[in-house]
Amino acid sequence: MANSPVQIVLNSDAFIEALENNGGGGSKDFFAGNDTEFIEHRDNIQNQLSEIKSMQLVNSFAKVSYAKVTLKQTALAKSHRPTSQVFKRDVAPIIGAGDLGELFVELTPESIDKINTKVGQAEPETRYKEKNGKNEPNPSRLRSEVGAIEGISPYTASDKRNFSVKEAVKWLSNPQTGGSYMVELFEAPPARQDWDLLSKYKFDLFDSFFGGLTILGTGLFVSRITTGQGSSIVFGIKLEKTDSTPVIQLYSSSTAGKSGEKKSIDLNLERHNELLEYLGNHPLVKKVTLPPIITQSSTVKSQVKGENFTVLAPDHEGSYPKICVVDGGVSDVYGDWIEDRWGLISSMDKDENHGTFIAGLAIFGQQLNGKAICREIDGCKIIDLDILPRADRYSSYYSKPLEFFNELETAVQELKARTGVRIFNFSLNIEEHASTTGYSVPAQILDKIAEENCKSSAKSVLI
What pLDDT band is residue 304 in, cutting at 50, 70 and 90? low
pLDDT for 229 equals 53
What pLDDT band is residue 456 in, cutting at 50, 70 and 90? very low
Q: Exposed, middle or buried by CB within 10 Å (0-12, 13-18, 19+), for 21?
A: exposed
User: Is 227 or 221 the better-scoring residue by pLDDT?
Assistant: 221
User: Is 97 or 8 the better-scoring residue by pLDDT?
Assistant: 97
What is the average pLDDT value for the chain, to the nearest integer?
87
Compute the average pLDDT of residues 270-276.
97
User: Is 183 or 448 the better-scoring residue by pLDDT?
Assistant: 183
pLDDT for 228 equals 58
pLDDT for 132 equals 84
Taking the alpha carbons of 446, 452, 453, 458 in that order, is the dihedral positive or negative? positive
pTM exceeds 0.85, yes or no:
no
CA separation, residue 256 to residues 82, 118, 289 (Å): 45, 52, 22
CB crowding 410-445: b at 16 or more within 10 Å, else e: ebbeebbeeeebbbbbbebeeebbeebeeebbbebb
CA separation, residue 402 to residues 177, 226, 354, 441 (Å): 9, 8, 22, 9
